[in-house]
Amino acid sequence: MRKLSFMLAALLAVAGICAMLWPVFTGQRLQADTDAAVREFLAERNEPEQKYPELLAALQEYNQRIYNEKQSGLADLEACEEPATDLVAYGIEDEIIGVLEIPAMELTMPVYLGASDAHLAAGAAVLGNTSAPIGGDNTNCVIAGHRGWRGADYFRYIDRLQVGDTVKLTNLWEILTYTVTDIQIIQPHEVDKIKIQQSRDLLTLLTCHPYASGGRQRYVVYCEKLPTMSQSRRAVLF
């Protein structure tokens, strides 16, 4: 009887250790997967034939259309999962549209079109009915991410960001550099606070708040593509 009790205690101890280590194992695996996806995207992006002019035109048209329609579908949760376009139709099998880099968070992760469960599990995702990640006036690309997912950090440490920090988005055509201009905590229904703002080129990071709260609120980091020094001088001259 004593031997049986000892064996049961040992089994429970092993089970407890496995339960504690499981998030570490899954987190490391997810991190390895996102790192591999980033490397593959950047390698393919550097191939001269991979310019996708038809895709760029489709995304530009999409951005103009949702701006003209005042993003009327943004309040629809299902619509937020819909991608701006089907990347597979353009030969992009992994559905990655870009890479998000946030130095203050020590974070680099792939970006997908459409905030579906699958995309959010694999990286960051652009909300449907917000601008595609190609920049330009009258755009606001809203990128959502989990505040931690199965042991992987993802947007867990988003509160490290401060006004003035840099956020980079590398798409298939260029590297867009944004500056954090504001940070707010909003309610889930306040979709007007993540809409396009006229004449501005914005990138907005969105995640749940507080951490591990089940999504009671939203933590929002507003970033803007500000004019370079040379652009500012040119504006003064002309």
List the domain boundaries for the chain. 2-237
CB–CB of 212/147 below 8 Å?
yes
Per-residue confidence of the chain (238 residues) as pLDDT tens digits? 555 454 444 344 334 333 343 344 455 677 788 889 999 998 887 776 668 999 999 999 999 999 999 998 888 777 889 999 999 999 999 999 999 999 999 999 999 999 999 999 999 999 999 999 999 999 999 999 999 877 789 999 999 999 999 999 999 999 999 999 999 999 999 999 999 999 999 999 999 999 877 778 999 999 999 876 444 444 444 4
Euclidean distance between CA atoms 17 and 63, whole angstroms: 50
What HEC string does the chain produce? CHHHHHHHHHHHHHHHHHHHHHHHHHHHHHHHHHHHHHHHHHHHHCCCCCCCHHHHHHHHHHHHHHHHCCCCCCCCHHHHCCCCCCHHHHCCCCCEEEEEEEHHHCEEEEEEECCCHHHHHHCEEECCCCCCCCCCCCEEEEEECCCCECCECCCCCHHHCCCCCEEEEEECCCEEEEEEEEEEEECCCCHHHHCCCCCCEEEEEEEEECCCCCCCEEEEEEEECCCCHHHHHHHHHC
pLDDT of residue 33: 86
Q: In this predicted structure, what is the pLDDT of residue 14? A: 39
Token digits for 78? 């299902």
Dist. CA 124–CA 108, nearest whole Å: 10
Residue recorded with tokens 């500000």: 226
Give the model's pLDDT for residue 163. 98
CA nearest neighbour of 135 among 61, 202, 220: 202
Pairing of strands 166-171, 175-186: antiparallel
The pLDDT value recorded for residue 236 is 41
pLDDT of residue 2: 53
For 2-237, CATH gives 2.40.260.10
Tens-place pLDDT, residues 206-234: 999 998 777 789 999 999 998 764 444 44
| Predicted pLDDT of residue 17 | 39
Alpha carbon distances (Å) from 172 to 55, 84, 191: 10, 15, 28
Over residues 70-94, the pLDDT tens digits come to 998 888 777 889 999 999 999 999 9
Q: What is the pLDDT of residue 79?
A: 82
